[in-house]
Amino acid sequence: GAVVSQHPSWVICKSGTSVKIECRSLDFQATTMFWYRQFPKQSLMLMATSNEGSKATYEQGVEKDKFLINHASLTLSTLTVTSAHPEDSSFYICSAAWTKWLINEQFFGPGTRLTVL
């Protein structure tokens, strides 16, 4: 199956700093990439959807100035958590999707665990 990587896998930072997370589709070109956050033992919550070369579409309640998404190519999307605070600590997962006929199948990255001190 298709492989999606995320980097870093975990990061610890001080409050007020910014953190960038990269999501790459390694062996296919993703038409769309999604960013999720997941709290312990909870479901995935979609934060935003991004298509290459266009602005990301954010879900209601997600601050676009705080969670900056850049989708520079069909294989790379980045999420930058700006001025991180402890409440931003979470597990961030990206996924990449491509359209094969009528099927959209998402391939998930391994996730990035962010801890803000």
β 10-13/112-116 pair status: parallel
Interface positions with another protein (CB under 8 A):
32, 34, 36, 41-46, 49, 57, 59-60, 93, 95, 99, 102-111
* Min CB(3)–another protein separation in Å: 12
C-beta of 14 vs 41, nearer to another protein: 41
CA atoms within 13 A on the CB side of 3: 3
C-beta of 104 vs 115, nearer to another protein: 104
* Min CB(107)–another protein separation in Å: 7
* Min CB(54)–another protein separation in Å: 12
C-beta of 82 vs 106, nearer to another protein: 106
